[in-house]
Amino acid sequence: MSNSLGALLVDDEQPALRRLKRLIDEIEDCHVLGLCSESGEVLASVRELEPDVVFLDVEMPGLGGLELAQALRRLDRPPAVVFVTAFERYAVQAFDLEAVDYLVKPVRRERLLRALARVRSEQVADPAAKAALNARLGDRVTMVPLADVRVLLAEDKYTSVHHVNGVHLLEESLVNLEQRFPHRFLRVHRNALVSRMHLRGMFRDAAGRDHVEVADVDCTPEVSRRNLAPVRRQLKEMGQV
């Protein structure tokens, strides 16, 4: 049990709460620490139980899930957040709040396992490395917050980092970045990774090539044929198709 993830489940609908608990009870490396059916109980429960992950319903009476997620981020030791809701339209806001994943009701076991894998991936990542990338602009070295990164492109010996405040260069390869942050970046081409949570759509240019649209940047990387299916799947999960 020491390596098991502790989960707090939050939902005002008792049937949904019980169903999610049953699914998690069947998973060896995750256990339920507590259940909350009212939003006013959540912060106190998190402080008391110190869960690794909070499965958070979006639409609740009183303080909604999105507002609760913002409050959780301000804690000294914020838990990972996985949104669970029947409403796909909240996906973009959920990922903008740095949610680890977004599950649509009724939750399927396969998707739940993938969400837990992403939570574990965040746990084992080096916190210092996770927070920012060591980038360069000319002779100046700067730290680009990981939350600001939208697109990573391989260019000659460098990787260009397209983020909300501009473009910088990294000496780290795309392969290394993909391995370090598999839950955060999606491979769309052998030369490009994009932020999963900021993927907004896909379009085809006049030459018949597919490209992705990514929030906050003008960069629209090409999608290779072998990566079309994963991109479409990610867009579907976020309610973008």
Q: Is 211:220 a contact under the CB 8 Å cutoff?
A: yes
Model pLDDT, residue 149: 92
Torsion of CA 52, 55, 60, 65, to 10 degrees: 60
170 in the same domain as 94: no
Closest CA to 98 of 160, 181, 33: 181
108 in the same domain as 136: no
Q: How many domains does the chain have?
A: 2
What mean pLDDT is predicted for residues 176-197?
90
201 in the same domain as 107: no
Model pLDDT, residue 124: 65
Q: In what order do the strands lie in the sheet with 132-137?
A: 140-145, 132-137, 166-170, 158-163, 149-155, 192-195, 185-189
CATH number at residue 196: 2.40.50.1020
114 in the same domain as 19: yes
Torsion of CA 21, 25, 29, 32, to 10 degrees: 40
Residue 74 pLDDT exceeds 70: yes
* pLDDT mean across residues, the chain: 86
**Boundary residue ending a domain (108, 124, 140):** 124
- pLDDT band, residue 128 (cuts 50/70/90): very low
Maximum Cα–Cα distance across the chain: 58
What mean pLDDT is predicted for residues 175-184?
85
In angstroms, the CA 201 to CA 231 distance is 9
Model pLDDT, residue 86: 78
> The domain containing residue 169 runs over which residues?
128-237
CATH number at residue 25: 3.40.50.2300
In order of 9, 125, 168, 211, the CA distances from 122 in angstroms are 19, 5, 24, 28
In angstroms, the CA 170 to CA 174 distance is 10
**Percent of the residues in the chain that have a pLDDT greater than 90, as a whole number:** 53
Distance of CA 172 to the CA centre of its chain: 22
